[in-house]
């Protein structure tokens, strides 16, 4: 069967998600229950709280995904689930649910890597072509991944300290903005000017790695030093200057990687790919009449969701990879 209907489940962080995807391409249904409002009170994701909310919401989210797909278990060919990486307690809820459903309905179980999921979100909006390069930018990850062919992943660069989304969230906290900070900084920066020259961590020649902790500290120091002088920096300008520094580095790395590896496509995905300045800068660097095709999934497929897990699961399906009933959540799973 080349067009399997897969029920996909994702619970690696703070979104409880289920989707039905056909042939790794067509979204039949896509349901996400966000816990954002709950975690906002704590200023970040509290793992224990996330797990408990997954337990509460999981069944209803799956039910909704099936009802809106107008399907029952007999219409499905497989169950897919995020195996890792992520918060262990959160992963366990999805993994255990998927195993129980696969067992009860005698369906094959497909294990999916969360980052492979983010990358294959591209398949839901375009046709992936290889070799490809993916820039995955989220609250937990900042990675450049080379895909020589379907199902093969080589991480050529990653962050040595903070993930880019983490830097956004920390800078937002310094500016006393609510969690998650990314969208807040995005909004503020649009009204500001790049008036402060924050550092750009280029690292050693030729490196594809990233580092954002120096930039984060520079923003913190600038804000605090101004306070000590009895001044207040214009938050819009701090946001715009910080964002300019981030975007410069991400675009430089993506351009260099795409040209050195002679890829056909560049995929930019993960929560931070929702950022307007980043999207615009990438579109400018990779114009539609250029050699490298740029795919940036729409916002709802960039942030955590289960449709992307269904898309990536199709590769396991084709290869005949199946998980056993001993499948476990793997918080540090390698790609
Ligand atoms: O992919 P995601 O939903 O969850 C993880 O797997 O981490 O990414 C969440 C991250 C958060 O750090 C959030 O602040 C950031 O993505 N983010 C943004 C924007 N929207 C979300 N960062 C910058 N600009 C945005 N518009
Ligand atoms: Zn994610």
What value of ipTM does the predicted structure carry?
Answer: 0.97
82 and 152 housed in the same domain: no
Atom of ligand 1 nearest to the CA of 304: 3
C-alpha of residue 40 to centroid of ligand 2, in Å: 18
20 in a labelled binding site: no
C-alpha of residue 85 to centroid of ligand 2, in Å: 9
196 and 276 housed in the same domain: yes
Taking CB atoms within 8 Å and a gap of at least 24, the contacts of 154-160 are 155/335, 156/208, 156/257, 156/261, 157/207, 157/208, 157/209, 157/210, 157/253, 157/257, 158/209, 158/210, 159/209, 159/210, 159/211, 159/212, 160/203, 160/209, 160/210, 160/211
Alpha carbon distance 190, 194 (integer Å): 10
SS3 at position 205: coil
Looking at residue 171, its pLDDT comes to 96
Examine residue 330 and state whether it is found in any structural domain, yes or no.
Answer: no
239 and 267 housed in the same domain: yes
135 and 68 housed in the same domain: no
274 and 162 housed in the same domain: yes
User: pLDDT by residue (tens digit) across 100-121?
Assistant: 999 999 999 999 999 999 999 9
Examine residue 250 and state whether it is found in any structural domain, yes or no.
Answer: yes
- pTM exceeding 0.90: yes
Looking at residue 259, its pLDDT comes to 97
Examine residue 324 and state whether it is found in any structural domain, yes or no.
Answer: no
Q: Which regions in the chain score pLDDT beneath 50? A: none
Phi then psi dihedrals of residue 222, to 5 deg = -60, -45
Check which CATH number belongs to the domain holding 104 and give it: 3.30.420.40
Looking at residue 41, its pLDDT comes to 77
**How many distinct structural domains can be found in the chain?**
2
Q: Which residues surround ligand 2, an ion (CB under 5 A)?
A: 138, 304
Examine residue 222 and state whether it is found in any structural domain, yes or no.
Answer: yes
Looking at residue 44, its pLDDT comes to 79
User: Which protein residue has the closest C-alpha to ligand 1 atom 1?
Assistant: 271
The sign of the torsion formed by the CA atoms of 100, 101, 103, 108 equals negative
Q: Please name which ligand lies nearest the alpha carbon of 272.
A: 1
166 and 279 housed in the same domain: yes
Atom of ligand 1 nearest to the CA of 179: 14
Domain region containing 257: 129-296
288 and 214 housed in the same domain: yes
Atom of ligand 1 nearest to the CA of 86: 6
Looking at residue 40, its pLDDT comes to 81
* Residue to probe by mutation, ligand 1, list 115, 118, 138, 165, most atoms within 8 Å of CB: 165
107 and 151 housed in the same domain: no
201 and 278 housed in the same domain: yes
99 and 206 housed in the same domain: no
C-alpha of residue 138 to centroid of ligand 1, in Å: 5
Examine residue 264 and state whether it is found in any structural domain, yes or no.
Answer: yes
Looking at residue 47, its pLDDT comes to 86
Examine residue 329 and state whether it is found in any structural domain, yes or no.
Answer: no
Examine residue 291 and state whether it is found in any structural domain, yes or no.
Answer: yes
163 and 254 housed in the same domain: yes
162 and 101 housed in the same domain: no
169 in a labelled binding site: yes
User: Which protein residue has the closest C-alpha to ligand 1 atom 10?
Assistant: 139
Residues in contact with ligand 1 by the CB-under-6-Å rule are 13, 138-140, 165, 168-169, 180-183, 186, 270-272, 274-275, 303-304
Examine residue 26 and state whether it is found in any structural domain, yes or no.
Answer: yes
């Amino acid at each position: 069967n080349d067009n399997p209907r897969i029920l996909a489940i994702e619970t690696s962080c703070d979104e409880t998600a289920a989707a039905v995807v056909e042939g790794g391409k067509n979204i039949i249904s896509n349901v996400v229950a966000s816990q954002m409002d709950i975690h906002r009170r704590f200023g970040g994701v509290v793992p224990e709280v996330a797990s408990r909310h997954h337990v509460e919401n999981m069944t209803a989210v799956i039910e909704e995904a099936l009802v809106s797909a107008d399907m029952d278990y007999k219409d499905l060919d497989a169950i897919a689930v995020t195996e890792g990486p992520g918060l262990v307690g959160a992963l366990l809820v999805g993994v255990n649910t998927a195993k129980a459903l696969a067992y009860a309905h005698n369906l094959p179980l497909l294990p999916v890597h969360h980052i492979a999921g983010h990358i294959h979100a591209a398949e839901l909006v375009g046709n992936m072509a290889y070799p490809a390069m993916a820039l995955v930018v989220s609250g937990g990850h900042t990675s450049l991944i080379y895909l020589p062919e379907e199902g093969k992943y080589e991480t050529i660069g990653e962050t040595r300290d903070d993930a880019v989304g983490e830097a956004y969230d920390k800078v937002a906290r310094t500016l006393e903005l609510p969690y998650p900070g990314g969208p807040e900084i995005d909004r503020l920066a649009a009204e500001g000017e790049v008036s402060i020259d924050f550092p750009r961590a280029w690292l050693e020649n030729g490196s594809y790695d990233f580092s954002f902790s120096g930039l984060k500290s520079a923003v913190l120091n600038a804000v605090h030093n101004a306070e000590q002088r009895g001044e207040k920096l214009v938050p819009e300008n701090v946001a715009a200057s910080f964002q300019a520094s981030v975007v410069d580095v991400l675009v430089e790395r993506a351009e260099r990687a795409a040209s050195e590896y002679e890829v056909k496509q560049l995929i930019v995905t993960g929560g931070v790919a929702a950022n307007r300045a980043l999207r615009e800068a990438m579109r400018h660097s990779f114009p539609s009449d250029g050699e490298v095709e740029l795919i940036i999934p729409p916002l709802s497929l960039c942030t955590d969701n289960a449709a992307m897990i269904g898309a990536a699961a199709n590769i396991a399906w084709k290869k005949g990879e199946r998980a056993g009933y001993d499948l476990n959540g793997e918080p540090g799973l390698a790609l």
